[in-house]
Amino acid sequence: MRKQVIITKTVVGWYNIKDTQHNLMLNIPPKVFEQYFPDVSKDVKLRV
C-alpha cells in the first residue's frame, strides 16, 4: 500500500512523518531515518 506523507524535521533534528491530514505517524531520530530512507534529501526543512 502506498500513502502520501509529509516529512518534516524538528528543531532538535528528529524527523516527523505525518499523513496528509497532519496526523503524526512516526517520529524518528536522524541516524535511523538516514538508514531506512537514504533516498530522501538531507535538506528537509522546518515547516512553519
> What's the gap between Cα 19 and its chain centre?
10
| pLDDT computed for residue 21 by the predictor | 93
Residue-wise pLDDT tens digits, 1-48: 777 888 888 889 899 999 999 999 999 999 998 898 888 776 665 554
Contact, 2 vs 19, CB < 8 A?
A: no
Task: List the alpha helices (DSSP H) in the chain.
Answer: 30-36
* Residue 26 to residue 15: CA distance in whole angstroms: 8
Q: Please indicate, yes or no, if residue 47 is contained in any of the structural domains.
A: no
Range of the domain at 23: 5-36
Q: Please indicate, yes or no, if residue 12 is contained in any of the structural domains.
A: yes
Q: Please indicate, yes or no, if residue 16 is contained in any of the structural domains.
A: yes
In the chain, the number of structural domains is: 1
* Residue 20 to residue 30: CA distance in whole angstroms: 22
Q: Please indicate, yes or no, if residue 9 is contained in any of the structural domains.
A: yes
* Residue 21 to residue 15: CA distance in whole angstroms: 17
Q: What is the residue type of 39?
A: D
